Amino acid sequence: MAWLFDVELTSFERKRYRNLSHAPNKAMNLNSYLALIGGRYRERRSDGAVELCPVPAGEEGLDFVDADYVLTLDADSLLDPDYAARLVHWLESPDNERIAVAQTPYSAIPGASRVIERIAGATTDIQYLIHQGFTRHGATFWVGANAVLRKRALEDIATTVTDPETGASHRRFIQDRTVIEDTESSVDLVRRGWQLFNYPARLSFSATPPDFGALVIQRRRWANGGLLIMPKLLAMLTRPPFRRRSSEAFMRIHYLTSIAAVNAGLVLLFLFPFTDWLANEWLPLTAVAYFCLYAHDLRLAGYRRLDLLRVYALNLMLIPVNLGGVFRSLQQAVTKRTATFGRTPKVKNRTAAPAIYVLAPYALTAYLCSAAGFDLSEDHAFRALAGGINACLLLYALSTFVGWRDSAADIARKPRSRFSAA
């Protein structure tokens, strides 16, 4: 027992040092440490600030031990005890020299007590299966909650950037242009001939936001950045010698554009006045195969097939959130200002949601109800039924995932405190 708990822990805070990057994003946390690995440094005070300076060979200093592999881990992630051993063993296999990233996309921690936490976790567990399919077609993306990275591959894509405020130069291994730094770095690695791999076992688990306010921050961040990376991906897919297989190209493009396309498509489907020829009883059949497969995968992941309705209700309520993230991507494309990295809150009490993301589902529900009434008066029974079902599911989502009292509190909250814990 003493041996198990006899562990030395060290910490590193990059913003303590003037000559390291102070950029407010997760990528520069990783980049700052990666740049120091394999070196020896000493703290030095200059003009009232602390700098971390290299130490000549033979002199004492703070060692940053070199390594062939680096394991990245989010603060709320839990790993199987064999995680590193299994992934490094796989990376060391003779046929895997060109694998840059090995990972197991995290699963939700089981046993959630709140409905929203369990259903949002179901969407995460479905993503685990989707990413296994990406690996099957050579289209793996690095998902940054946890992964084992080959340091040699990171060195291959490293660049040097200059801090515009301090003038100091920093090495950048992982892109910080967007808030989904792992996704853009995946494209950089593939462009240099490296591959990525999803290990076929659930070896990592991570906490799911326990309330709607925290979920808004997480999912809006996930939706922000894909469109910004698309030009780089398309350039890679179309430029020799990097012409990719059609299945890989399709899945990589799908991964970057699906959030924008699906959510914008649902809004158009609700708002656009389709003719009888387009909006008839055959239209829902186009989604039957998708829903059947989704229900089957929910069952494989340990959920009930009826949870499909709850997942669909949650996704309806998250339409404005996802579009908010997409809008931020477009805003960055126009203004050239990098979006702020919004960390998912880890607080004991409820996180308040911005009023716009609570009001929007209410507005959509009211519109669907009024449209259903109008369609019924015009003898369009099928369209009235479809609108009524979606309105009922949105009401269920608002009452179950937010709550009437909490949603009223979020709407009435002053703008400056909407993201604070309530």
Q: What is the pLDDT of residues 308-335, one digit of tens each?
A: 999 999 999 999 999 999 999 999 999 8
Q: Give the confidence band of 348 by pLDDT, cuts at 50, 70, 90.
A: confident
Which residues make Cβ contacts (< 8 Å) with residue 269, sequence separation at least 6?
none
Helix (H) or strand (E) holding 179: none
The 10s digit of each residue's pLDDT in 253-269 is: 999 999 999 999 989 88
What's the whole-number mean pLDDT along residues 358-385?
Answer: 89
CA-to-CA separations, 249 to 150, 189, 227, 237, 252, in angstroms, rounded: 24, 15, 15, 7, 5
Report the mean per-residue pLDDT for the chain. Answer: 88
Look at the block and give the residue holding tokens 């700052």: 32
Which residues make Cβ contacts (< 8 Å) with residue 34, sequence separation at least 6?
70, 151, 154, 171, 173, 174
Q: Is the peptide bond before 241 cis (omega within 30 degrees of 0)?
A: yes
Look at the block and give the residue holding tokens 């059609």: 246
Rg of the chain, C-alpha, whole Å? 24
- For residue 40, the tally of other CB atoms under 10 A from its CB is 16
Whether the CB-CB separation of 312 and 380 falls below 8 Å is answered with no
Give 192's DSSP letter: T
Structure tokens at 126: 């479905």
The reported pLDDT for the residue numbered 193 is 92
Structure tokens at 351: 């996180």
- For residue 345, the tally of other CB atoms under 10 A from its CB is 19
The reported pLDDT for the residue numbered 280 is 59
Q: Which residues pair with 42 in a beta bridge?
A: 53
The reported pLDDT for the residue numbered 419 is 41
Backbone angles phi, psi at 416, to 5 degrees: -70, -15
Helix (H) or strand (E) holding 266: helix 246-271
SS (H, E, C) 351-401: ECCCHHHHHHHHHHHHHHHHHHHHHHHCCCHHHHHHHHHHHHHHHHHHHHH
Whole-angstrom Cα distance, residue 153 to residue 185? 11
Q: What is the pTM of this model?
A: 0.87
What's the whole-number mean pLDDT along residues 13-34?
Answer: 88
For a pLDDT cut of 90, what percent of the chain falls above it?
57
Whether the CB-CB separation of 256 and 226 falls below 8 Å is answered with yes
The 10s digit of each residue's pLDDT in 70-87 is: 999 888 889 999 999 999
Whole-angstrom Cα distance, residue 27 to residue 161? 13
- Could you list the beta-strand ranges (E) of 166-284: 169-172, 195-198, 204-206
- For residue 420, the tally of other CB atoms under 10 A from its CB is 14
Torsion of CA 122, 123, 128, 132, to 10 degrees: 130
Q: Give the confidence band of 242 by pLDDT, cuts at 50, 70, 90.
A: low
Whole-angstrom Cα distance, residue 39 to residue 57? 10
- For residue 198, the tally of other CB atoms under 10 A from its CB is 23
CA-to-CA separations, 44 to 1, 54, 61, 101, in angstroms, rounded: 40, 10, 11, 35
The reported pLDDT for the residue numbered 275 is 63
Look at the block and give the residue holding tokens 């939700």: 108
The 10s digit of each residue's pLDDT in 171-208 is: 999 988 888 889 999 999 999 999 999 999 999 999 89
Whether the CB-CB separation of 177 and 216 falls below 8 Å is answered with no
